[in-house]
Amino acid sequence: MAHALWRAHGDRCVWGSDWPHPSQTHIPDAAALVAALAQIAPSETERQRLLVDNPQRLYRFA
């Protein structure tokens, strides 16, 4: 589902792992979440957009 969302609206997606999971009784495997990035945004350019460029634009860091 995340990959389909990325393909449809990649210019408006940002990555969020919800770390440190303060209100959860089950803590997700952080390594698995990070590994999922390769499936969601396969290229380095896509990961740059997802992890850096889109959040920068959304939160007006630049």
Tokens of 23: 């209100």
Q: Which of these is catalytic: 11, 18, 29, 53? A: 18
For Cα atoms 55, 35, 22, give the angle at the middle one, nearest 5 degrees: 65
Say whether 18 is catalytic. Answer: yes
Distance, in Å, from the CA atom of 47 to the CA atom of 13, rounded to the nearest integer, reads: 11
Catalytic residues: 18
